[in-house]
């Protein structure tokens, strides 16, 4: 799409579990799993947790161990199939994303942030999976429309699609 490859993208498959704190258990739960109760990336032991609301997180690729014994602390809900997660990077990634992402993605501003937001009328969760590399999760039914938006937005910079490793 376009020429050059100012933007690169791939689809990334991840296990996602929503962890919703039981009433009054937010802090205990956060401490147990090493979570920040904030719109931030947090977590430990190889788990990435995305704060998506007060007392609400999405855990990426959690292990069974980590989820065990949370019964009284949290309600868990599998969301692995609920989202399509895109990863986008490249020299023009910010310019392309600016065409729909209503967030200040300046490197000094959007660092360990997680933002639940809306992109081109599609609800989305945005975070950085690595420096200058953005992950965007959209509900899976929207994946086609989201991809269409991404192609249109990145076209002028050249878009290269990478296979999943």
Binding stretches for other proteins (CB under 8 A): 2, 18, 20-24, 38-39, 52-54, 56, 74-75, 77-83, 98-104, 106, 109, 115-118, 120-123, 139-142, 144-146, 148-149, 152-153, 155-156
Q: Between 45 and 102, whose beta carbon lies closer to other proteins?
A: 102
Q: Between 45 and 111, whose beta carbon lies closer to other proteins?
A: 111
Shortest distance in whole angstroms from residue 129 CB to other proteins: 20
Shortest distance in whole angstroms from residue 29 CB to other proteins: 11
User: Six-digit token pair at 75?
Assistant: 């309600």
CB atoms within 10 A of CB 99: 14
Q: Between 17 and 135, whose beta carbon lies closer to other proteins?
A: 17
Radius of gyration of the CA atoms of the chain, in A: 16
User: Six-digit token pair at 8?
Assistant: 């690169």
User: Six-digit token pair at 4?
Assistant: 């050059």
Shortest distance in whole angstroms from residue 116 CB to other proteins: 5
86 SS3 class? strand
Cβ distance 136 to 85 under 8 Å? yes
């Amino acid at each position: 799409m376009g020429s050059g490859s100012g933007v690169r993208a791939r689809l990334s498959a991840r296990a996602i579990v929503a962890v919703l704190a039981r009433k009054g258990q937010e802090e205990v739960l956060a401490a147990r799993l090493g979570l920040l109760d904030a719109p931030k990336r947090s977590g430990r032991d190889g788990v990435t947790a995305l704060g998506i609301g007060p007392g609400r997180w999405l855990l990426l690729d959690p292990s069974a161990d980590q989820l065990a014994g949370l019964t009284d602390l949290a309600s868990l809900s599998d969301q692995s199939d609920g989202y399509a997660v895109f990863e986008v990077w490249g020299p023009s990634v910010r310019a392309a994303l600016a065409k729909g992402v209503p967030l200040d993605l300046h490197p000094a501003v959007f660092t360990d942030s997680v933002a639940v937001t809306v992109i081109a009328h599609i609800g989305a969760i945005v975070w950085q999976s690595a420096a200058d590399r953005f992950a965007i999760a959209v509900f899976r039914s929207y994946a086609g429309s989201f991809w269409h938006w991404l192609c249109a937005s990145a076209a002028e910079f050249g878009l290269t699609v990478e296979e999943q490793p």
